[in-house]
């Protein structure tokens, strides 16, 4: 249930702690998240270094961050589906496949954004 009334520093701090707990769970239990996080650790500083201007830098760091967010959401979907429906179910399988597809689409976005921004500089 949503909190009612004033949300002060304590509630903001608690939300931060829950977010850190979610990141730790993603790191501990999801090999794909660990791999994508390592990729982001490399790509984000590179994007800040190689991007010309604020917009390019923003695009080059946004794409890997979106992948991490989608991977966490995909992992959450998979965990809930596995809890609710441990036996095979077509709808459960479809939900998991669609979550995986969302991550894939964002990985394609990483490749396209990096290629379109940096490709002409490297090969032009």
pLDDT tens across 27-72, in order? 999 999 999 999 999 999 999 999 999 999 999 999 999 999 999 9
pLDDT at position 122: 87
3-state secondary structure the chain: CCCCCCCCHHHHHHHHHHHHHHHHHHHHHCHHHHHHHHHHHHHHHHHHHHCCHHHHHHHHHHHHHHHHHHHHHHHHHHHHHHHHCCCCCHHHHHHHHHHHHHHHHHHHHHHHHHHHHHHHHHHC
pLDDT at position 78: 95
pLDDT at position 1: 56
pLDDT at position 88: 85
Average confidence score pLDDT of the chain? 94
Least confident of 45-54, 78-87, 101-110, 111-120: 78-87
pLDDT at position 6: 73
Q: How confident is the model at residue 86 (pLDDT cuts 50, 70, 90)?
A: confident
Phi/psi at 52 (5° precision): -100, 110
Q: Which residue, among 68, 75, 67, 69, has the nearest Cα to 106 in the 3D structure? A: 67
pLDDT in tens, 16-28: 999 999 999 999 9
How far apart (Å, rounded) are the C-alpha atoms in residues 116 and 68? 21
Question: Is 71 annotated as catalytic?
Answer: yes
How far apart (Å, rounded) are the C-alpha atoms in residues 40 and 101? 19
Catalytic option among 71, 78, 87, 90: 71
Which tokens go with 84? Answer: 């609710």
């Amino acid at each position: 249930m949503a909190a009612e009334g004033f949300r002060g520093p304590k509630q903001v701090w608690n939300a931060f702690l829950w977010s850190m707990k979610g990141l730790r769970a993603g790191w501990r239990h999801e090999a794909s998240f660990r791999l994508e996080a390592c990729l982001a650790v490399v790509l984000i500083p590179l994007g800040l270094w190689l991007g010309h201007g604020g917009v390019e830098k923003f695009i080059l760091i946004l794409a890997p961050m979106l992948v991490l967010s989608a991977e966490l959401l995909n992992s959450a979907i998979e965990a809930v589906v596995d809890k609710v429906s441990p036996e095979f179910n077509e709808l459960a399988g479809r939900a998991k496949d669609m979550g995986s597809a969302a991550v894939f689409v964002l990985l394609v976005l990483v490749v396209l954004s990096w290629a379109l921004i940096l490709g002409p500089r490297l090969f032009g």
